[in-house]
Amino acid sequence: MLKPEANELVTRTGPGTPMGALLRRYWIPFLLSAELPEPDCPPVRVKLLSERLLAFRDSDGRLGLIDEFCAHRGVSLWFGRNEQGGLRCPYHGWKYDVTGQCMEVPSEPVESGFCRKIRLKSYRCEERGGVIWAYMGAPADEPPIPAFEWMSLAASHRYVSKRWQECNFLQAMEGGIDSSHVSFLHSGDLHTDPLHKGTKGAHYQRDRKPTFEVIESPGGLHIGARRNAEAGHYYWRITQWIMPWYTMVPPYGDNALNGHAWVPIDDENCFTWTFTYHPVRPLSEAELAAMRQGGGIHTELIPGTFRPAANKDNDYLIDRAAQREGRTYSGVAGIAMQDASVQESMGPIQDRAKENLVSTDNAIIMARHRLRRAALAVANGETPPALAPECHRVRSATFVLPAGVPFATARRDALLAREGVAPTSI
């Protein structure tokens, strides 16, 4: 349970909020490279942490993320002309480069130097792993680029998608932290989805009463969920949570690894990023085809948008017959939309004063606490955790251990990203 003030603190991420100040200390994945495919391509409207911005790629391929609105009289530069090293406002021709610097004010004499005094807000961008990242904090605090394993793999080994989710980022991320829901919400799919069925992991999740052991890691939490396996043994699923908004899903069999980033658009919307990757092999045509069709934990989108085809306006295409017959547990098809439907149903920002938490929510309690602590620390001038690339070089894992053996010491190796070594997964 969180009192209203505490809930405000962890869910509000706009400029001037403590959580907003914390999140601005991290690199933020915000566009697929394919959204800005080539020099001088059309710009893209971006809303991040409640700021309205515009991303573009100039004639030399340089990336810019600048204030969406022209410094002259506030026209949206989305209507601008991307030409010859800058973006030109279509109203009176003021032109800006990728740093937001005004390059030209056609009405004023060049000698006046007027345009040099005009500069739009801008944030630095970097491109890694097929994703464009922004840093929105103070330049002096800029951390190294994140070092998630999927970012440095060959493009053939990964598949990245994003979808718009119509709720606050925290309740979406809490779904990624909470692996106890898998035995219910996703139970129908574990035996039918092409990327889950037939694995031992899908079989062991019939035990619907996992016991959790949560351990602080340098970058966040190792979340161990233990279920009964063969006599005297436990089946462990280890989820990683990495500050501030990354989760890694425990794997199944030889399937690829999966991770998410839950990035606030504003306080009532977020982007759910999904990263699927295999550290030692290319993804197969069958896997890619399944994901493109919304399989695994990806989803089908309305063409030309990032809005899922099943969304709150059509009740996520709920199928009560499928629910009754257990083909899907909730009646909503697909793991991603099962998650989105329940998380969005909590309302744009969940009222955590009304919740009743139980022991399987321990990891959620710890993550909230860690975020809150970090936000307060940053407000006191301290450096936030998980900026160091080592914090990102972790993996989710699944394995069986004899009862009584602590997972984090027995399988320390399995929790680290190791180049050229296959994931630990059953």
- In terms of Cα–Cα distance, which of 118, 124, 157, 108 is closest to 28? 124
Rounded to the nearest 10 degrees, the angle between the axes of helix 335-344 and helix 169-177 is 130
Label each residue of 188-255 as H, E or C.
HHHCCCCCCCCCHHHHHCCCCCCEEEEEECCCEEEEEEEEECCCCEEEEEEEEEECCCEEEECCCCCC
92 lies in the site for ligand FES, by CB under 6 A:
yes
Contact set for Fe ion, span 242-301 (CB under 5 A): none
Least distance between ligand FES and beta carbon 122 (Å): 16
What are the E-state strand segments in 62-168? Answer: 63-67, 81-83, 86-88, 95-96, 102-104, 122-128, 131-135, 158-165
Bridge partner list, 416: 394
Would you say 94 or 133 has its CB closer to ligand FES?
94
Least distance between ligand FES and beta carbon 118 (Å): 10
Of the candidate residues 6, 75, 322, 346, the single one contacting ligand FES (CB under 6 A): 75
Residue 339 binds which of ligand FES, Fe ion, none (CB < 5-8 A, kind-dependent): Fe ion
Task: Name the segment binding ligand FES (CB under 6 A); options: 68-76, 131-139, 261-269, 276-284.
Answer: 68-76
67 lies in the site for Fe ion, by CB under 5 A:
no
Residue 72 binds which of Fe ion, ligand FES, none (CB < 5-8 A, kind-dependent): ligand FES
Rounded CA separation 19/335 (Å): 29
Is residue 333 within 8 A of residue 193, CB to CB? The reply is no
Task: Name the segment binding ligand FES (CB under 6 A); options: 90-98, 139-147, 161-169, 341-349.
Answer: 90-98
178 lies in the site for Fe ion, by CB under 5 A:
no
Of the candidate residues 91, 114, 164, 306, the single one contacting ligand FES (CB under 6 A): 91
Least distance between Fe ion and beta carbon 335 (Å): 6
Site string for Fe ion, 314-343 (x = CB under 5 A): -------------------------x----
Rounded CA separation 327/321 (Å): 9
- In terms of Cα–Cα distance, which of 148, 211, 145, 150 is closest to 180? 211
Residue 124's φ and ψ, nearest 5 degrees, are -70, 145
Instruction: Tell me how far the alpha carbon of residue 129 is from its chain's centroid.
Output: 14
89 lies in the site for ligand FES, by CB under 6 A:
yes
- In terms of Cα–Cα distance, which of 364, 301, 322, 366 is closest to 173? 364
344 lies in the site for Fe ion, by CB under 5 A:
no
Neighbours of 85 (CB within 10 A): 15
Site string for Fe ion, 357-396 (x = CB under 5 A): ----------------------------------------
Please spell the DSSP secondary structure of 318-343, one letter per residue: --HHHHHHTSSSSS--SHHHHHHHHH
Rounded CA separation 243/173 (Å): 11
Contact set for ligand FES, span 193-232 (CB under 6 A): none
Would you say 101 or 228 has its CB closer to ligand FES?
101
Of the candidate residues 47, 52, 62, 72, the single one contacting ligand FES (CB under 6 A): 72
Would you say 51 or 339 has its CB closer to Fe ion?
339
Residue 75 binds which of ligand FES, Fe ion, none (CB < 5-8 A, kind-dependent): ligand FES
What is the contact surface with ligand FES in residues (CB under 6 A)?
Answer: 70, 72-73, 75, 89, 91-94
What is the contact surface with Fe ion in residues (CB under 5 A)?
Answer: 339
